[in-house]
Structure 1
Amino acid sequence: MRKLLGICMLMLLLIIPATIGAEESKAEGNRINPALLSSLREGGYILYVRHGEAGVGEDQPNLDFGKCITQRNLTEEGRRQAKLYGEVLRSLKIPVQTPIQASPFCRTRESAELAFGKGNVQVDPFWVKIYSLSGQVTPAEQASTLAALSTGLEQAQPAGTNKVIVAHGFPKGVGLGDIPNLGTVVIRPRGAGKGYEVVDRITLNELLSLHESTLTLEMAR
């Protein structure tokens, strides 16, 4: 019996460090490169952001962009997320150019307005095509939309500010891929005809963690 207990204890000692190591590795993988904050403060990037949590109502066949009742809309949590997103970017001193681009859906417009101010948002109907990628589109339509997306995202941005787009997620494996609520895809344009680079993908929680760690460092100085 003692021999059996000894074997069990040995197995636990071997398993626990491996589990801790896996959790530490996972945490490492979720960290944002500290140099990225400095780069974002210098500007020149595009921040592609998905709208906040939406679950009220549904997008109806007779969808009318001027009538939110015909669409899925932000939940209270989605509104809280959007306000928090704008507050964190301002606190981190990440400059953004206005107007902010937003898809004409109520949930995207409201997310942008809550984050950056109602007078700082401009609707761009192109982003409806991104929304449509999750529906029934032909391969030719998908290719055309993605080509137009690339043309827009490869355009160089001025130093000292970052372009922000508040729109929709993509189907898995298509375009910028699946994006969580208020998740950000950080894009570095390479210039007209040269494409773009996805530098990082940041969740709202990771952005909040970066904010908290930055505050801690500043208080320690």
Structure 2
Amino acid sequence: MEKSLLALMKKGGLILYGRHGAATVGVDQPYGTFHSCQNQRNLSEQGRREAVYFGQMLRYWQIPILSPIATSPFCRTIETARLAFPNYDVQIVPFLYDIYKLGGDLPSSEQTRILTALSSMLEIIPPQGMNSVIIGHSFPRDVGLGILPDMGTVVIRPKGPGQGYDIVKKLTLEDLAKIDSI
């Protein structure tokens, strides 16, 4: 399966949804601004290494990546994208903050709105021969794409607007490093 996954990824047409690298201990401050990194959990040194390694692995496997890289507005997701893809543009997508909010106590109508918007985002097929990358957050258990480890990646096959998407595989950073030999 993994060899075919690598071939699929090299062919393009997928979305790689990655969680940011390991972050510092603490809590994001409520009502902080996204422009103020001191009010947020940020990448730890390990998280920075994970982000660099993630980008290196995608380049090593020659997986074509479309620019820009989409990120949530948090400093840790932006830094992850910039470290992983230093020669790419980064596009902050405010909606990706809503993924982070799924971990809170939201009314079911708000959770449904967020998951519907997420589905719309994950249904968009990248240009032929390319893969889109989104750097965001983990999800609560059994919600959206589920719990993701630091720098974990969900490989998604979009079917087109209104057609849904398939989760092809969930990968840890370690899985990505040995994708051809598992």
Report the TM-score, using the length of structure 1 for normalisation: 0.79
- Say if 1:58 and 1:72, in contact at 8 Å, map to a contact too: yes
Q: Are 2:117 and 1:117 equivalent residues in the alignment?
A: no
In the alignment, what sits opposite 1:192? 161
In the alignment, what sits opposite 1:174? 143
Deviations 1:84-115 (A, max 9, x none): 00011001000000010000100000000000
Q: Which has the larger helix fraction?
A: 1
- Say if 2:67 and 2:88, in contact at 8 Å, map to a contact too: no
- Count of residues in Structure 1 that have an aligned counterpart in Structure 2: 182
| Paired residues for 1:1-221 under 5 Å | 33-117=2-86, 120-210=89-179, 213=181
Residues in 2 aligned to 1:180 and 1:118: alpha-carbon distance in whole angstroms: 25
Residues in 2 aligned to 1:194 and 1:106: alpha-carbon distance in whole angstroms: 32
Runs of 4+ in 1 over 2 A off after TM superposition: none
Report the TM-score, using the length of structure 2 for normalisation: 0.96
Residues in 1 aligned to 2:11 and 2:60: alpha-carbon distance in whole angstroms: 15
Gaps of at least 5 residues in structure 2 are: none
Q: Which has the higher contact order (CA 8 A, sep 6+)?
A: 2
| 1:132 Cα deviation from its structure 2 partner | 0.3
Residues in 2 aligned to 1:118 and 1:53: alpha-carbon distance in whole angstroms: 22
Cα RMSD of the aligned pairs, angstroms, is: 1.5
In the alignment, what sits opposite 1:22? none
Partner SS, residue 178 of structure 2:
helix
Instruction: Please tell me the residue identity of whatever aligns with 1:88.
Output: M
> Percentage identity across aligned positions?
49
| 1:133 Cα deviation from its structure 2 partner | 0.3
Instruction: Please tell me the residue identity of whatever aligns with 1:158.
Output: P
